[in-house]
Amino acid sequence: MIGLLGLNHKTAPIKVREKFVFCEEDVKRFVPQLIDAGINGAIVVSTCNRTEIYFDYPEKDIFDCTSTLAKMLFDWRKADKSVGAHFYHKFQDEASQHLFRVASGLDSMALGEYQIVGQLKDAFAIADKYELHTPTLIRLFNKAFEAGKKVRTETALSKGAVSISYAAVELANKKLHNLSSHPTLLLGAGQTGELTLQNLLKKGCNQFTIINRTAAKAQELAKRYKGVAREFSELQNELVHNDIVVTSTASKKPLITKEMVELVMIERQHKPMFFVDLSVPHNVAPNVAEIENVFVNDIDDLNAVVDKTFDIRKGEIEKAEAIIAEFVTDFSDWQHTRNLTTTFQSISDNFKKINEAELEGFIKRQSKDNTDEASMYADHITNKFIRLMIKNVKSITDNGRKKEYIELVNDLFKLAP
């Protein structure tokens, strides 16, 4: 059985979301605690817009599992239980539908964006690396990747879609107009940082500097796009020389503080600065916005830019939802059919026992020449009856959904004659 506990940009502001961001080390430490508590396995998806824990649980323990997971998560982050109001709980078809919508870009802040696919694959890879998932979760995520690919292939949902990086650059361009005349600092050289840089270049920005904690990554990115890389220790000095600052690092604490920017603004003679913080948790301390001539926008401020492109693609949502519904049904059928594994094995074992017992007596009455043919015929008729019984059991139990019928069939084939 699968469940989901999560929150996203629709249910929680950034000040709540940033409390529940998971890095790889967090996943490595936290999920084994869930497994020790009785949950079979889990995959944690953590991005700037969402933290979602997809988990596999024993059916009989559904309520215990969900309450235990929520309590452990809130204790882990030292969060008051009142934050629970921002979380959603989903189970079975509702949980798989949600993940398939996420993988298709339907649940993103920027409708149809593709970056989420890479983030889901990263989450899956971490669970795989530490063996934290289960066969059910593996199947669930593989189906999510298939669903996302089919939606993007067979609909125009992603046509004209914008990314958060694009929205950030559009916002900067709207505020400052001519980006080519404003030197820009990128703090962070990951995927989001590179996408932001690509959009800056399209808008004519040709003066940019890259800083990253791992200097080699900053240097490699700067070389590829013909920019300048600086050491992390030079951050404050670079703030003095750049009008636009875009941050996208995984730091759990603000890298740019109010005190730092106050000193920078003195050196800049209070020339305006524009910050776009794409990080969760914040890379720019919220109180930096209190400084005169300093403008700070975080990821939640980008909705207005993103919403402008929504109308172009909203007609494709219905097509995408129809595709997702097919995948939900397919995954549900697979999951319920797994309930019949024991039943099918029982049917097979019993028919084979009957065959062996009857064949043994038959062979004793036959000549040696007929023995091989009799054995082949017995195997053939046994397998034919097994396939017929399995087909009928699937039909009667609605592919494993009618559990009272499964119990009846199990009782019927419990003992061989």
- Other C-beta atoms closer than 10 Å to the C-beta of 73 total 22
d(CA 219, CA 210): 8
Which residue, 53, 43, 109, is CA-closest to 77? Answer: 53
Strand partners, 244: 184, 274
Amino acid at 356: E
Element (H, E) at 45: strand 41-46
Residue found under tokens 């969060």: 79
Contacts of 20-25 spanning 24+ positions with Cβ under 8 A: 20/46, 20/51, 20/73, 20/77, 20/79, 21/46, 21/51, 21/252, 21/280, 21/281, 22/46, 22/51, 23/250, 23/252, 24/126
Q: Determine if the peptide bond prior to 417 is cis (ω within 30°).
A: no
Among 23, 48, 65, 205, which one carries the catalytic annotation? 48
Rg (C-alpha) for the chain, rounded Å, is 29
Question: Is 65 designated active site?
Answer: no
Which residue, 301, 48, 260, is CA-closest to 175? Answer: 301
d(CA 249, CA 218): 12
d(CA 117, CA 95): 17
Kindly give the pairing relationship between strand 184-187 and strand 244-247.
Answer: parallel
Which residue, 328, 338, 333, 315, is CA-closest to 111? Answer: 315
The two three-digit tokens of residue 42, written as one number: 């889990």
Angle, CA of 259, 261 and 263, to the nearest 5°: 75
Strand partners, 275: 245, 296
- Other C-beta atoms closer than 10 Å to the C-beta of 112 total 27
Residue found under tokens 């009667």: 396
Active site residues per annotation: 48
